[in-house]
Amino acid sequence: METLRVMFLCTGNACRSQMAEGWARALAGDNVEIKSAGIEAHGQNAHAIRVMSEVGIDISRQQSIKVNGEMLEWADLLVTLCDNAEEQCPLLSPHTIKVHLPLPDPAKMRGSEPQLLEEFRESREKVRQRVEFVLEQVALEAAI
């Protein structure tokens, strides 16, 4: 089987797409390459790093990067995780499939530290569900 290249895209590549990259690396098989990017680069988010470490996934070495044409050309499958990424995404190459699975940005939430961590934990689990869905679809397609 040929390697499938999957990219997760959100606004700032700090929370949702970073968590998706971490989940996908942990859950995907050897036939899937994973990257993430943002419409902008907002840097790493300490809350995202912390809640992912709670489930044994280290995303602290991932970089927050801005998407570019070369990355879009690389991707076979692009998964947008917010409406902004869906709307602002540059043109894709004809071979790239795009799937839109939006989530609210946990970095925009306000509250106490325990409330923020709970929001990020909920986002982490919603991201996991979306990554599992994408990987299941990839497996189904490979089986056909």
| Residues tagged active-site | 10, 82, 89
How far apart (Å, rounded) are the C-alpha atoms in residues 128 and 65? 21
CA neighbor of 38 nearest in space, from 77, 9, 69: 9
3-class DSSP assignment, residue 4: strand
Task: Return the bridge partners of 79, or none.
Answer: 8, 99
Query: Is 3 exposed, middle or buried, given 0-12, 13-18 or 19+ CB atoms closer than 10 A?
Result: exposed
